Structure 1
Amino acid sequence: MTTAATTRKTPVKAAIASFMGSAVEYYDFFLFGSAAALIFPSIFFPSGDQAALVMSFATFGFAYIARPVGAFFLGHFGDRIGRQKVLMFTLIAMGASTFVIGCLPGFAQIGWFAPVLLVVCRLFQGLSAAGEQAGASSLTLEHAPDDRRSFFTSWTLTGTQGGQILAALIFIPVVAMPDDVKYSWGWRIPFWLSAVVVVVAYFIRRSLHETPAFEAAKAQGEIARIPLIPLMRDHWRDVLRVVLCATIAAVSTVFGNLALAYGKEVGVAEAVTLWLVVVANVFALGTQPLFGMLADRVGRKPVFIYGALSSAALMPFYMLSMGSGNTLLTFALGVLTFSFGYAAANAVWPSFYGEMFSTRVRFSGMAIGTQIGFLMAGFAPSIVTALGGVAEGGWIVISVFTAVIALIASGAALTARETRSVPTADLGTRPEVRRVLNAQTA
């Protein structure tokens, strides 16, 4: 039997908890990405050349191998025991693995065991991240009013921007350190600081109760013993659709990680490229909720598709500007590409994907679909680097790659149903079934 406390919707509190949890998780995640571009090639590999950079970016990608595995595991329990309990686990697991990275010895101390241990920690980061966005998005969506789901769920992804801002801000003074300090103990400090932010988020998230939709499904005996079975039976098309749409996340890793290495290659100072990430994400903190509000008015599909295609259209201009020597132009195009382009798709996907599934399989459907799709995002830096994306003229490779990804995601989005006007209780139900059920209850 549920109580009023457990069934009350608290959308603002859910949005804040999701924002903070995502900020912590993705502070850790993006911190690794910055270090993989600027520090790890010299610490964990035998040389700091192009081959070391490719291997370093590959360690970044290993988390995306673990994420689909984590999605099956965490999605199962998220749909079985609840969203809030799984989110507490992901928070602690991410924080612990990040702290340990800051304690690892380098290649000079233990040879090839150093990158092996780094990969192990990165795999744990991936397992944790697999459940974070899907769980936080499901929790916020199910707490939100029917007509404002996109706005409230956009704060989950806005939290990831907050995490990236924090990671970049902490990393800026690190890259400014003298090399002997930076490559000995200086780079470790941001990883150790993750323990502090995890504690803060833990106390915020632990006070949030389970969603009314999940509690209602539990009370009515609708919780599946093995959520994967009804998911694959009733929603396999939606899972596939989410996989293809989720490849758009590669734009974020190209912008936030690969561009750091490309900027360094064409003569942009490391601190400047990090500030690019900070400024673009600060603007995204404001634009993403606005895109969420827009999607509540005009629909999820048009906003998502606009975000994907505008990213492809603007990326070549942004990358070209890095070699122009005009820093102001580079910042303006970076903000335009990320905060007014990609941010639209980024803000809308939590509601767009989550609304494809019913309550009993929402966590699993979102987690599995997104994490398989995110594999492209994880390996985008190493793939594009291997194709020459960090060499002279690499802006062409980066731009073509972004365009292909955007077209795949947009094409998949076009096949989806628009769910803006569908009540939360009816989400994941085919229109013809909804009409029958509504007629029976009329």
Structure 2
Amino acid sequence: MTGKSRKAAVAAWIGSALEYYDFFIYGTAAALVFGKVFFPSSDPAASTLLALATFGVGYLARPVGAFFLGHLGDKFGRKKVLVLTVLLMGSSTFLVGCLPTYRQVGVLAPVLLVALRLMQGLSAAGEQAGANSMSLEHAPENRRAYYTSFTLAGTQAGQILATAVFLPVAAMPAAQLQSWGWRLPFWLSAIVVVAAFVIRRKLDETPVFEREAAAKLPVVLLFRDHWRDVIRVVVASTIAAVSTLFTVYALSFAVNDAGLAKTPMLWVGVLANVMALAAIPLWAKLADWIGRRPVFIGGSLGCAVLIFGYLGAISAKSYLWVFVVGIVMFGIVYSATNASWPSFYGEMFTAKVRLSGTAVGTQIGFAIAGFTPTIASAIGSWTGVAAFTAGLCLLNVIAVATGRETYRTPTAELGLRTTPAKAPLSAR
């Protein structure tokens, strides 16, 4: 069991890193380049707002993809979904790098951009839910948070790769950056597709899925028996607003409004994500020891406070405090939520609907979070943006606090409402 647990966790880490490299290079490009490449240059502020809106479109597609891919994963297996998602993500990302610009084809350019972003969103809808379900169902019962946390650690690694690749690209002269330089990170996704496909083809299906008789319509079973948990996951998942705000809006705000240099701001993201790689497994071990809820709630409350400090540091143009607060908030505090939610959400559902429940719940919540950069740009004031984000954090705290604690529940009994919340496990 241990060998398969490690194999599933490592595959989830590598696959998620490669998949989210694709997803996040789009966000970086949207903040730095797309407003000038795919939209009219007559109104720079409006162009930036439209470019950030296309980033949010990917999240809008994710709830739709969650229903489809969730059904496939609960009906035909977790492995099939994981192979499909990486192929869809890789091909759509590569094609973004091949698109003509607004100067070349006019309105067709942003139309094609949005279409490919929708494909990215459909792929991402099944990625984390599939990897989490795979890892959770292979994991030892007393280490489920630790093994499922590899998925989110992989996501952080993908952000590091995406930002690191853009560091030399962003340093190029503006003419080269806007003509062909921005395309390079997207073309590299061809390597991503091949590597992730090979890794995931070698995975074993989970024993829990193989033992269970698949439901004919998992989504019907999901909303009949678990609709409260779906709503809880939707609200809790709005914590992802911290990520989209940090990754996209804060970068755009710093460079385009506050006048800070691109390269230092990209380095903030790299260093914060490097810190997250170390923090996530440690928080996950704590979640296996004291429970999922206290770790998640602590991280969310911390983000509600620190977001004021981070945006305030950007507004004050203090590179020192931008680095310090950004790394603490996103690298350490936000990592507590990322370490605990993969197990916490998955443990709310039975194996028959686990992938559907996790996918649908998270992707609707992530869709809300995905438009945070657009909403933030419309709000304008950084204090208003911080207050809006803190409000979302408080909402997900309430959702998590009212949920069942599941860290002591045996894997076979997860999602069964008759199961005591603290049924005994084997010796920890």
Task: Give TM-score scaled by structure 1 length.
Answer: 0.93
**Structure 2 Cα separation of the partners of residues 215 and 8 of structure 1:** 18
- Counting only pairs closer than 5 Å after superposition, residues 328-339 of structure 1 correspond to structure 2 as 328-339=320-331
Shift of 1:349: 0.7
Pick aligned residue for 1:258 from 240, 249, 254: 249
Is structure 2 residue 235 aligned with structure 1 residue 239? no
SS at structure 1 position matched to 2:353? helix
**Do the aligned partners of 2:409 and 2:419 also contact (CA within 8 Å) in 1?**
no
Pick aligned residue for 1:147 from 142, 157, 165: 142
Shift of 1:200: 1.5
**Do the aligned partners of 2:2 and 2:140 also contact (CA within 8 Å) in 1?**
no
**Structure 2 Cα separation of the partners of residues 145 and 273 of structure 1:** 40
**Structure 1 Cα separation of the partners of residues 72 and 111 of structure 2:** 29
Shift of 1:434: 9.3
Pick aligned residue for 1:40 from 26, 34, 43: 34
Shift of 1:262: 1.0
2:109 aligns with: 114
Give a deviation string over 1:56-114, Cα, whole Å, max 9, x none: 11111111111111000000010001001110000010000000000000000010000
1:326 aligns with: 318
Is structure 2 residue 142 aligned with structure 1 residue 129? no
**Structure 1 Cα separation of the partners of residues 16 and 180 of structure 2:** 27
**Structure 2 Cα separation of the partners of residues 377 and 323 of structure 1:** 22
Pick aligned residue for 1:229 from 204, 220, 225: 220
- Counting only pairs closer than 5 Å after superposition, residues 62-81 of structure 1 correspond to structure 2 as 62-81=57-76
**Structure 2 Cα separation of the partners of residues 328 and 151 of structure 1:** 33
State the one-letter code of the partner of 2:27: G
Is structure 2 residue 413 aligned with structure 1 residue 413? no
Pick aligned residue for 1:286 from 256, 270, 278: 278
Report % sequence identity: 54
2:411 aligns with: 424
SS at structure 2 position matched to 1:10? helix
1:17 aligns with: 11
Give a deviation string over 1:369-410, Cα, whole Å, max 9, x none: 00011111111001110111xxxxx32022101111101100
State the one-letter code of the partner of 1:276: V
CA-atom RMSD, angstroms?
1.6
**Structure 2 Cα separation of the partners of residues 9 and 85 of structure 1:** 21
2:295 aligns with: 303
**Do the aligned partners of 2:408 and 2:421 also contact (CA within 8 Å) in 1?**
no
**Structure 2 Cα separation of the partners of residues 245 and 159 of structure 1:** 21
> For structure 1, which segment, 394-403 or 353-362, has the greater mean C-alpha deviation from structure 2 after superposition?
394-403
SS at structure 2 position matched to 1:33? helix
1:404 aligns with: 391
Specify whether residues 434 and 156 from structure 1 end up closer, same or farther in structure 2 by C-alpha distance, changes over 3 A only. closer
**Structure 2 Cα separation of the partners of residues 8 and 226 of structure 1:** 32
State the one-letter code of the partner of 1:337: M
- Number of aligned pairs? 422
Shift of 1:9: 6.5
- Counting only pairs closer than 5 Å after superposition, residues 379-398 of structure 1 correspond to structure 2 as 379-388=371-380, 394-398=381-385
**Structure 2 Cα separation of the partners of residues 185 and 163 of structure 1:** 23
Shift of 1:433: 8.2
**Structure 2 Cα separation of the partners of residues 324 and 387 of structure 1:** 19
**Structure 2 Cα separation of the partners of residues 109 and 326 of structure 1:** 40
SS at structure 1 position matched to 2:352? helix
**Structure 2 Cα separation of the partners of residues 335 and 294 of structure 1:** 21
SS at structure 2 position matched to 1:359? coil
State the one-letter code of the partner of 1:113: L
Give a deviation string over 1:28-75, Cα, whole Å, max 9, x none: 111000011100000000026111111111111111111111000000
1:200 aligns with: 195
Give a deviation string over 1:206-258, Cα, whole Å, max 9, x none: 111100110111xxxx2101001110111000000000000111110001111
**Do the aligned partners of 1:9 and 1:212 also contact (CA within 8 Å) in 2?**
no
Shift of 1:307: 1.0
> For structure 1, which segment, 317-326 or 159-168, has the greater mean C-alpha deviation from structure 2 after superposition?
317-326
**Do the aligned partners of 1:75 and 1:365 also contact (CA within 8 Å) in 2?**
yes
Gaps of 5+ in 2: none
Specify whether residues 426 and 268 from structure 1 end up closer, same or farther in structure 2 by C-alpha distance, changes over 3 A only. same
- Counting only pairs closer than 5 Å after superposition, residues 263-278 of structure 1 correspond to structure 2 as 263-264=254-255, 265-278=257-270
**Do the aligned partners of 1:227 and 1:364 also contact (CA within 8 Å) in 2?**
yes
SS at structure 2 position matched to 1:420? coil
Runs of 4+ residues over 4 Å off in structure 1 = 432-435
**Do the aligned partners of 1:267 and 1:323 also contact (CA within 8 Å) in 2?**
no
Gaps of 5+ in 1: 1-6, 389-393
State the one-letter code of the partner of 2:31: A
2:82 aligns with: 87
- Counting only pairs closer than 5 Å after superposition, residues 39-58 of structure 1 correspond to structure 2 as 39-47=33-41, 49-58=44-53
- Counting only pairs closer than 5 Å after superposition, residues 313-392 of structure 1 correspond to structure 2 as 313-388=305-380
State the one-letter code of the partner of 1:240: I
Task: Give TM-score scaled by structure 2 length.
Answer: 0.96
Specify whether residues 327 and 433 from structure 1 end up closer, same or farther in structure 2 by C-alpha distance, changes over 3 A only. closer
SS at structure 1 position matched to 2:217? coil
Give a deviation string over 1:106-143, Cα, whole Å, max 9, x none: 00001000000000000000000000000000000000
**Structure 2 Cα separation of the partners of residues 155 and 246 of structure 1:** 18
Shift of 1:202: 1.6
1:4 aligns with: none
Shift of 1:179: 1.2
**Structure 2 Cα separation of the partners of residues 70 and 54 of structure 1:** 25
> For structure 1, which segment, 407-416 or 200-209, has the greater mean C-alpha deviation from structure 2 after superposition?
200-209
Shift of 1:432: 5.2
